């Protein structure tokens, strides 16, 4: 075998070494909610419970408990404000309400700094390079919380794309 042949063989054998690792959920969500700073712990809890109750449990009637009426939305698929938020989720609401989960399936981590809390989730997609296979990546939701309520939200959604509710609530 010549140098080119060895190079090709080495490259082919090295491909798995450079493959991305799958994203895996964190094991202890209760520990993720803790912080030595009481404000950060409280903000984490607001974001976590909002996600469990309102987003995953579809209890839109409880959104006022977690959000301000003038809530700012940065997801390109939903209008800003409480009314826009409710319109978006009413349109995708299942016919039968799911139970409110005790934990968040697929939760990787919760980070808090100042008024901001970010929840990271496992996100699974069809692999375009391997028919019938899946791959994982990470979905992020970031909230700004002021006086115990969510005033602003960001995520990694693109226009027309389904959010994490549809893809990870089933897991």
55-83 average pLDDT score? 94
* pLDDT at 85 > cutoff 50: yes
Judged against a pLDDT cut of 70, whether residue 26 lies above it is answered with yes
Residue recorded with tokens 């939701």: 141
- Asked if the 23-168 domain carries CATH number 3.10.450.50, the reply is yes
Residue 12 scores a pLDDT above 80: no
pLDDT > 70 in the chain, percent: 83
Would you call 41 helix, strand, or coil by DSSP?
helix
The structure tokens listed for 13 are 């054998």
pLDDT at 159: 86
Whole-angstrom Cα distance, residue 149 to residue 62? 12
User: DSSP secondary structure string, 62-89?
Assistant: GHHHHEEEEEEE--TTS-SHHHHHHHHH
Per-residue confidence (pLDDT) for residue 166, from 0 to 100: 44
pLDDT at 70 over 50: yes
Query: Where are the domains positioned within the chain?
Result: 23-168
Average pLDDT over the chain, rounded to whole? 87
Please state whether 87 falls in left (phi above 0), alpha (psi between -120 and 50) or beta. alpha
What pLDDT is recorded for position 170? 38
pLDDT digits (tens, 9 = 90+) for 123-142: 999 999 989 999 999 999 99
pLDDT of residue 20: 78
Indicate the pLDDT class of residue 16, thresholds 50, 70 and 90. Answer: low
Q: What is the pTM of this model?
A: 0.81
């Amino acid at each position: 075998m010549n140098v080119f042949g060895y190079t090709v063989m080495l490259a082919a054998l090295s491909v798995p070494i450079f493959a991305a690792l799958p994203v895996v959920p964190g094991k202890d969500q209760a520990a993720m909610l803790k912080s030595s700073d009481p404000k950060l712990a409280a903000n984490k809890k607001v974001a976590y419970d909002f996600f469990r109750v309102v987003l995953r449990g579809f209890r839109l009637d409880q959104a006022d408990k977690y959000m301000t009426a003038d809530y700012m939305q940065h997801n390109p698929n939903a209008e800003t404000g409480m009314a826009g938020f409710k319109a978006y989720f009413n349109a995708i609401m299942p016919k039968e309400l799911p139970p409110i989960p005790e934990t968040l399936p697929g939760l990787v981590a919760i980070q808090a700094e100042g008024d901001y809390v970010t929840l990271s989730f496992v996100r699974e997609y069809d692999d375009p390079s391997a028919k019938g296979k899946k791959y994982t990546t990470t979905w992020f939701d970031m909230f700004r919380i002021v006086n115990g309520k969510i005033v602003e939200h960001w995520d990694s959604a693109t226009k027309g794309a389904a959010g994490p509710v549809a893809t990870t609530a089933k897991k």
